Amino acid sequence: MTKPGKFISLEGVEGVGKTTNLEYIADHLKSVGKKIVITREPGGTPIAEKIRGLLLDHGDEVLCKESELLLMFAARAQHLDTVIKPALQAGHWVLCDRFTDATYAYQGGGRDFLMQDIAWMEGFVQKGLKPDKTILLDLDVETGLKRASKRSEPDRFESEKKVFFEKVRQVYLNRAEAEPDRFSVVDASLSLSQVQEAIKIQLDDFLSKE
């Protein structure tokens, strides 16, 4: 797919500050003349948001982990088709709160799925389309969970145990190490203004290579 726009994803374990920093990133990119589409995963379209509800809400029935993985990619396929690809084709910059790195981290790391199975699904659904830049907000799990718990009641993922999130964090860091050009790792333990300064430096570096 030819894509005049750029695709940026924001990743990290619960409570690291992804959603908090989205507007800041959007404002910075707008200030240099980019047209921005802000979206999130799972979700981003009416159908994908319904799937998000199935994935995050505590229902009466236990969602088996195979269903969880397939629903993540079902939502993603819809999101790509309806929102992300058309926006990129129109020259917009897409800013996405989580994307497929989260599937590797949560379903691969947290739920122990084989990375190669996730890679197959990624190829099937995305056909080579990946974020051009991924900002990974890295923070120790305990601090992140504390921040998230102050914000709202735990969803289905936030109810997992600490060891689950340690595995998630480690997969994120491994992926960042394996793809240093795409990933920018930001220390999310700093104050919000320091985190935003670090993000700005990474964005400006990315913009300078455009």
Ligand X SMILES: Nc1ncnc2c1ncn2[C@@H]1O[C@H](COP(=O)(O)OP(=O)(O)OP(=O)(O)O)[C@@H](O)[C@H]1O
- Which positions lie near ligand X, rule CB under 6 A? 12, 14-20, 147-148, 150-151, 188, 191-192, 195
CA atoms within 13 Å, Cβ hemisphere of 209: 10
Compute the least distance from the CB of residue 111 to ligand X, in Å: 17
**CB nearer to ligand X: pick between 147 and 182:** 147
d(CA 10, CA 96): 6
Asked if residue 149 binds Mg ion (CB under 5 A), the reply is no
**CB nearer to ligand X: pick between 36 and 135:** 135
**H or E stretch including 135?**
strand 133-138
Compute the least distance from the CB of residue 17 to Mg ion, in Å: 8
Number of residues that bind Mg ion (CB under 5 A): 2
Instruction: Supply the DSSP symbol for 190.
Output: S
User: Phi and psi at residue 148, in whole multiples of 5°?
Assistant: -65, -35
**Could you tell me if 16 and 141 are in contact, meaning their C-beta atoms sit under 8 angstroms apart?**
no
Interface pattern 7-46 for Mg ion (x via CB under 5 A): -----------xx---------------------------
Compute the least distance from the CB of residue 119 to Mg ion, in Å: 25
**CB nearer to ligand X: pick between 14 and 101:** 14
CB burial readout 113-130, b (16+ within 10 A) else e: beeeebeebbeebbeebe
All residues at 6 or more sequence positions from 112 whose CB lies less than 8 Å from its CB, including other chains = none
**CB nearer to ligand X: pick between 8 and 88:** 8
The listed partner (Mg ion, ligand X, none) that binds 131, CB under 5 to 8 Å by sort, is: none
Residues that bind Mg ion (CB under 5 A): 18-19
